[in-house]
């Protein structure tokens, strides 16, 4: 007669002996703490990245809106000038400056021109290398001031200029060159603070420069 045999089950693990290798409660707590710090760091990086992306988007939209408004202002009629006013001030929308307006208008009137353009020193956007006649580099100059003047994008315009402006196009490509040939375009050289803001980086740099100037004036 056959006897039924029970299939033996899995062998239970031997009891852990004191001193056997493994994780203690302190080690587990340390591991959990490290993982928590890593996760918090990842969340922080994500939040900072999201904030920067959102800020960049806002600045881009604001810049686009400003350019649109400037195009509208370029088409503004001189008829909007107050009665009795014979000149107006115009500026590009991406210019930050503290040029004094009263001396500027006085200079325009003394020149007797139809328009006066404010000029700023031309600062090289790159470093300059000085070379001797034997092609040896003898000096480096980081973004020096060059012996030229540039259009600062600030103008004083007489009312008589309106009839010379093009119905379409840019006055800097048509009216101003013609006035220069006729010697009726004045220049006002200024060393006042001037900066053109074209990029997000420019906005940050201008903010730092203005803050530094305000603090210097306050502490002086």
CATH at 172: 3.90.550.10
Mean pLDDT over 195-217 rounds to: 79
Q: Which range marks the domain in which residue 154 is found?
A: 82-193
Domain count, the chain: 2
pLDDT band at 18 (very low <50, low <70, confident <90, very high): low
Whether residues 88 and 158 fall in one domain: yes
pLDDT band at 114 (very low <50, low <70, confident <90, very high): very high
Please answer whether residues 165 and 173 qualify as being in contact, where contact means their C-beta atoms are separated by less than 8 angstroms.
no
Q: What pTM was computed for the model?
A: 0.60
Alpha helices in 75-191 (DSSP H): 101-111, 175-181
Whether residues 98 and 154 fall in one domain: yes
């Amino acid at each position: 007669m056959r006897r039924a045999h029970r299939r033996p089950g899995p062998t239970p693990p031997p009891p852990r002996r004191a001193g056997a290798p493994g994780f203690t409660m302190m080690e587990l707590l340390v591991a959990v703490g490290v993982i928590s710090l890593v996760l918090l760091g990842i969340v922080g990086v994500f939040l900072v990245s999201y904030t920067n992306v959102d800020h960049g988007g806002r600045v881009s939209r604001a810049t686009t809106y400003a350019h649109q408004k400037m195009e509208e202002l370029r088409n503004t009629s001189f008829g909007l000038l107050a009665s009795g006013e014979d000149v107006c001030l115009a500026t590009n929308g991406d210019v930050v400056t503290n040029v004094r307006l009263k001396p500027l208008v006085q200079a325009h009137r003394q020149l007797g021109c139809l328009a006066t353009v404010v000029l700023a020193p031309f600062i090289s956007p790159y470093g300059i290398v000085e070379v001797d006649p034997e092609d040896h580099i003898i000096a480096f100059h980081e973004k020096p001031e060059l012996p030229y003047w540039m259009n600062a994008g600030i103008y004083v315009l007489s009312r008589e200029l309106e009839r010379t402006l093009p119905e379409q196009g840019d006055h800097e490509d048509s009216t101003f060159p013609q006035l220069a040939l006729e010697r009726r375009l004045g220049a006002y050289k200024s060393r006042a603070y001037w900066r053109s803001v074209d990029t997000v980086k420019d906005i940050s740099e201008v903010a730092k420069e203005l803050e530094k100037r305000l603090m210097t004036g306050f502490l002086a």
